[in-house]
Amino acid sequence: MNIRSWLLALVLIAPAALLLAFGPRGRVEIPDNRRVIRYWEKWTGVEGRAITDLVDRFNNTVGAQRGLFVEYNAVSNIEQRLLIATAGGDPPDLAGLIDSRVPQYAAQNALLPLDDLVRDAAIDLELLKPIWLELGRYDGKLYALPSTPFTIALYYNRTLFRQAGLDPDRPPQTIAELDQAVERLTRRDEQGKITQLGFTMSPAMLGWWSWVWPNFFDGRLWDGQRYALDSSAGVAAAEWIWQMRERLGRQAALDFEAAAGPIESAENPFLSGRLAMVFQGPWMANWIRNYAPSLDYAVAPFPSSTTGRRHVFASADVFVIPAGAKHPRDAMVFLAWMQRPDVLEELCKRHGKVSPFRTPRSAFFDGHPNPFVRVFDEIASSPDAFGFPGMPMWAQVEAELLNLMQTLLRGNRSPEQAIRYTQQRIDLIVNEYQHMAAKRRGEQ
């Protein structure tokens, strides 16, 4: 074993030993004569209670009949701790991740492919909308099943639309119409300070997905080998962001964004009526209900540059089985039960998310916490729906794209310069990863 291998062992195995000694432990009595399925998840609070109730129901029904018992543990920093536990040889039997991490974990052989296990467990994948299966695949194999999926759409303030002379029943249909609405919905005081903003893609103002905008210009930038930020769609998106910022006034927009209150509070600028439109997920209805119950708002698909296209960002929490899990087939018994429409839709509804199924049950929509859940649910069926790029090195690339966004918003470089600089940085990241992957495979 060389020095590099010893260091890797020290970094991974030593923390794994600590994790095994002091890591997550169950809080319930495990009945005798049950095989334990260890399940790690990131959810706490309301979301944690929802999955705990379902775990208890399984344990008292199917689990009791099959001699199985799911031991649920809410684990902080689950992404890091799952890798550590897997490297240490003692991962849980089942875990919950964000779909964007699936390519990284799969490429590092930290996950079990599920294709054969799903077939043996008789899980009918045809019931699911295609986008949710796409997000769980890497290199042609299925590594994840959806738990609570969601899409992102355009929330808009109907009152502010009326005041600006815009039809509150007809939100922007294209990027050009969005630009026009932003101008009419932005208000300033006598000193030129923005008092009401039409829209912003700034990360400081709920624009959490800084990389998505080229997709709304008909672009899919990752082809499996290169992330083409310098493609026509990437350039068009950068110029759009730059030009909107120019029209708003860079410093005025930055000052407005700097004064934004906490996202989950009455000071959220959309909730306080100071931001007319925002790009957000179905959970925002919970904040509106809690902090601005009288807000007159609606939800629509986010507009695309091309008339008639409906580009939709979709993402999901997912179930995975780590490589080295001791009871993968027992975990699949629980997963097969969780993938039942009545069970999984109960979880999604309690989380305020959308249904993963092609045809949701009518009961799913009845009493859903988001009154516009049908919008979020239906757009997931769009042929233009897209998720995180299936890149094992995505975390590093995403950081560069966030820097790009900040550069465009602040005007530190022109769109051409910013694209060129960021493309060079991304190419280095991708090339280095591919070089190291080839070495691991013995190709170099």
Instruction: Say if CB 303 and CB 177 are below 8 A apart.
Output: yes
- pLDDT at res. 386: 97
Between CA 55 and CA 436 the distance in angstroms is 41
Instruction: Say if CB 194 and CB 315 are below 8 A apart.
Output: no
- pLDDT at res. 132: 98
In DSSP terms, 297 is beta-bridged to 157
Within 227-297, where are the H helices? Answer: 232-248, 250-258, 284-291
> Which tops the pLDDT comparison, 264 or 227?
227
> Which tops the pLDDT comparison, 5 or 91?
91
- SS3 of 179, please? helix
Confidence of residue 440 (pLDDT cuts 50, 70, 90): confident
Confidence of residue 285 (pLDDT cuts 50, 70, 90): very high
Confidence of residue 3 (pLDDT cuts 50, 70, 90): very low
Distance from the first to the final alpha carbon of the chain: 20
For residue 351, which of 78, 52, 26 has the smallest C-alpha distance? 52
> Which tops the pLDDT comparison, 29 or 325?
325
- pLDDT at res. 308: 85
Between CA 347 and CA 242 the distance in angstroms is 41
Give residue-wise pLDDT tens across range 60-116: 999 999 999 999 999 999 999 999 999 999 999 999 999 999 999 999 999 999 999
Q: Is 138 left (phi over 0), alpha (psi -120 to 50) or beta?
A: beta
Q: Domain 153-301+391-433: give its CATH code.
A: 3.40.190.10
- pLDDT at res. 370: 97
Percent share of the chain, pLDDT over 90? 87
For residue 54, which of 318, 328, 339, 364 has the smallest C-alpha distance? 339
What does DSSP say about strands 94-98 and 35-41: parallel, antiparallel, or unpaired?
parallel
Fold observed for domain 12-151+315-381: D-Maltodextrin-Binding Protein; domain 2 (3.40.190)
Give residue-wise pLDDT tens across range 15-29: 444 444 434 444 568
Percent share of the chain, pLDDT over 70? 93
* Cα–Cα distance list, 149 to 48, 57, 96, 354 (Å): 16, 22, 12, 6
- pLDDT at res. 152: 97
- pLDDT at res. 27: 54
Give residue-wise pLDDT tens across range 351-396: 999 999 999 999 999 999 999 999 999 999 999 999 999 999 999 9
Cβ count near 386 (within 10 Å): 19
In DSSP terms, 116 is beta-bridged to none
- pLDDT at res. 439: 84
Question: Average of pLDDT values for 254-264?
Answer: 91
For residue 320, which of 441, 440, 141, 151 has the smallest C-alpha distance? 141
For the chain, what are the domain ranges? 12-151+315-381, 153-301+391-433
For residue 336, which of 37, 100, 1 has the smallest C-alpha distance? 37
- SS3 of 415, please? helix
Give residue-wise pLDDT tens across range 287-306: 999 999 999 999 999 999 98
Question: Average of pLDDT values for 107-131?
Answer: 97
In DSSP terms, 280 is beta-bridged to 153
For residue 204, which of 398, 401, 405, 387 has the smallest C-alpha distance? 405
